[in-house]
Each structure stands twice: as structure tokens, then as C-alpha cells.
Amino acid sequence: MTEFRRPAALLLAGAAMLSLAACTPKGETPDPDTTTPANEGAAAPDAHPTCTTIIPETLVADFKEYGLSAIEEPFAFGDPATTKVEGGITCKWGNPEVPTDHGVQIYGWAPMDESGREKWTAFLTEQGWTHSEGDGLEYFGDPFAEGGMTYAFGDGFVIVADTEDALPLVSFPAS
């Protein structure tokens, strides 16, 4: 890919993500016919999240069409060696031919019981993450980038996305 086509491909990938993200403000109920709601509960015990099952199939197809692929990592609140959540997954979608962190889309899902929720919300609070609540979720946003990386805790799960507006795309199993 030429030096000039790389930025264009990354912009197209970003545009695809934004066009698919239904940006519903907290507290408002998204239209179920046009959006993928945040997970409404824990997945079946024998189900395993993957990079293609935590976001809508249409978004996966668009990413692949733009030459993007997913790097699968453990779900963590920082260093996976010390903050990994068992049974969870974080997916970084990007172009493997472009060594950059720009244009990368991040989505993650993990099961979360009440004791885990207490532990990790306390951890994020101690780290200075901003806290808010709405539409049945408890949000923790990046303290250095308003609207940036955000975790959302629900009943039996936690999700993460590289932007708060992208959180409605994450669910497991994807709806």
C-alpha cells in the first residue's frame, strides 16, 4: 500500500465505524431496529467471546472489506499480567501492514460478578477514571481523553471500547 493510500484506508475504516455506531446519549433508549444495544446480561456458560462475536457481523464485514483484522488479547484493566479478567477478550482491529496505533478500533467484553465489579470499579476510581451512570450501566472514562477509552459495567459483564460512543456496538453474544 502506498504512503498516501494508508491514511485514506485508515480514514475509511474510521468512517465505517462511525457510520455504524448509533450514538445514543446516556439515559436514552436506542431504537432496537437500528442499533446493537449494550449487553443486557451474561452469556451462556459454555459460550466464548471472540473478536467476531462481540461486535455486529456487519461491522466485522466492513472491517475485513477495508483490510482490517483483529488482534485478540485478554480483557484487562491495564497490564494483562496483573489485571486480566478470566473469560474476557479485547480485540484491536487495524491494518497489520501499518505499524501504528492510529486508526485502531478497540472493543472488549468480559463476564463480571459482583465481587469483580467492586474490585475493578475501585481500581479505576483509584486510577482517576471518571465515573458516571446511565441506562443501567456504570461508566468509567479515560481521565485524559474526554469521550476516549471507556469501560461500562452491567449486570454480569463489563465492556470496553476506544470511545464512549462505540460502547453500544459491544455485546455478547452480539445481537
Domain ranges of the chain: 5-169
How far apart CA 127 and CA 125 sit, in angstroms, is 5
The reported pLDDT for the residue numbered 97 is 79
The reported pLDDT for the residue numbered 46 is 61
The reported pLDDT for the residue numbered 174 is 57
Query: Which tens digit of pLDDT belongs to each residue from 52-93?
Result: 999 999 999 999 999 899 999 999 998 999 999 999 999 999
User: 127 — phi, psi (to 5°)?
Assistant: -80, -5
User: pTM above the 0.95 mark?
Assistant: no
Q: Judge whether residue 45 has pLDDT over 70.
A: no
Rounded mean pLDDT, 133-145: 94
What integer best gives the mean pLDDT of the chain? 78
How far apart CA 99 and CA 163 sit, in angstroms, is 21
Give the number of residues written for the chain: 175
Amino acid sitting at position 62: D
Residue pair 27/133 in contact by the 8 Å Cβ criterion = no
The reported pLDDT for the residue numbered 25 is 38
Smallest CA-to-CA distance from 37 within 169, 172, 150 is with: 169
The band of 96, judged by pLDDT with boundaries at 50, 70 and 90, is confident
